[in-house]
């Protein structure tokens, strides 16, 4: 059950991060601080979406071994 929730939230993070990245790159802000913020948020969302299932699997396997 928890694994499914983690995968669903990771998929949502990847989807929203990807949409934000496409939106930011297709219509970039003229203010460099806003552009940096938007790019940082989208890259963070994408990386967390990819890392969350891997980290969840790693730490649940280590708890089951103990």
Domain count for the chain: 1
19: which residues sit within 8 A by CB, 6+ positions away?
none
Q: Looking at residues 43-57, what average pLDDT do you find? A: 94
Contact 39, 18 (CB under 8 A): no
Q: Residues 19-48: pLDDT tens digits? A: 999 999 999 999 999 999 999 999 999 999
| Tokens at 64, concatenated | 């089951």
pTM, two decimals, is 0.83
What distance in Å separates the CA atoms of residue 66 and residue 64, rounded to the nearest whole number? Answer: 6
Domain range for 33: 2-65
| Tokens at 11, concatenated | 């998929």
Residue 62, pLDDT > 80, answer no
What distance in Å separates the CA atoms of residue 56 and residue 8, rounded to the nearest whole number? Answer: 13
What distance in Å separates the CA atoms of residue 66 and residue 63, rounded to the nearest whole number? Answer: 5
């Amino acid at each position: 059950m928890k694994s499914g929730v983690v995968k669903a939230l990771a998929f949502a993070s990847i989807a929203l991060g990807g949409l934000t990245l496409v939106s930011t790159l297709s219509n970039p802000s003229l203010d460099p601080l806003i552009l940096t913020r938007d790019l940082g948020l989208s890259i963070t969302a994408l990386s967390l979406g990819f890392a969350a299932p891997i980290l969840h699997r790693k730490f649940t396997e280590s708890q089951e071994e103990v």
